[in-house]
Amino acid sequence: MSCDEMIDRMPLVLAHRDTWRDEDWAHLRSCDECAESWRITSAGARVAATVRVDATAISAAVSARLAAPEPAPRIVWQRIAWPVAIAAAFVLVAYSAMVRRDANVPADENGAVATIQRAPLFPELEPLSEPALRVLLASVEATDTVGASSTAELPRLGDLTESQLEQLLITVESE
């Protein structure tokens, strides 16, 4: 007889629906795997013998559960509830940050936000025309080429050539 057949017969022997023959007992003594299975199955049978099962109560509980209406499936909602809640919280935080940032922006009666005009970096240069700014830039470039420690007189705007003005403009635009 094979080990699998012996292991399959063990519950039947313990329930007194089958018996071991002499060769089965000899196999149990010689095979470690079958002996271990017999010890485990025997221990399970001893535990089962001490447990009282009220089949009538279990049958009534199962019947009542089967007769009750099925609850709505909650698994789908539970799986998506937390990710949706986290995403909603993220959107609310991002939106509140935008609202706080734009809270000082004036709006008209229709809710349209007015364009923010930033203060000029150098307000004293605002009244100057474009040609005057070019001359000023050229004098700054001439100062850079002469050196900060030099006491040489700065050239006037009219003293700069066309190429010097263009170079100054290119330098300023690239920065």
What is the per-residue pLDDT across 55-107, written as a single tens digit (0 to 9) for each?
Answer: 888 899 999 988 888 776 666 666 777 788 888 888 888 777 666 555 555 55
Confidence of residue 32 (pLDDT cuts 50, 70, 90): very high
pLDDT of residue 70: 78
Give me the mean pLDDT over the 12-41 stretch: 92
Residue 46 confidence class, pLDDT cut points 50, 70, 90: confident
Q: Which long-range contacts (CB under 8 A, 24 or more apart) does 131-135 make?
A: 131/157, 132/157, 134/165, 134/168, 134/169, 135/160, 135/165
Confidence (pTM): 0.32
Provide mean pLDDT across the span 33-61: 88
Contact 48, 11 (CB under 8 A): no
Segments making up each domain of the chain, as ranges: 1-71, 124-174
- Checking if the pLDDT of 37 tops 90, the result is yes
Provide the pLDDT for residue 174.
Answer: 60
What pLDDT does residue 128 have? 77
* 3-state SS track over the chain: CCHHHHHHHHHHHHCCCCCCCHHHHHHHHHCHHHHHHHHHHHHHHHHHHHCCCCHHHHHHHHHHHHHCCCCCCCHHHHHHHHHHHHHHHHHHHHHHHHHHHCCCCCECCCCCECCCCCCCCCHHHCCCCHHHHHHHHHHHHHHHHHCCCCCCCCCCHHHCCHHHHHHHHHHHHHC
pLDDT of residue 85: 83
The percentage of residues in the chain with a pLDDT greater than 70, rounded to a whole number, is 71
Which one-letter amino acid corresponds to residue 51? V
Tell whether the model's pLDDT for residue 168 goes beyond 80: no
For the segment 153-164, what is each residue's pLDDT rounded down to a tens digit?
666 767 778 888
On the question of pLDDT at 114 being above 80, the answer is: no
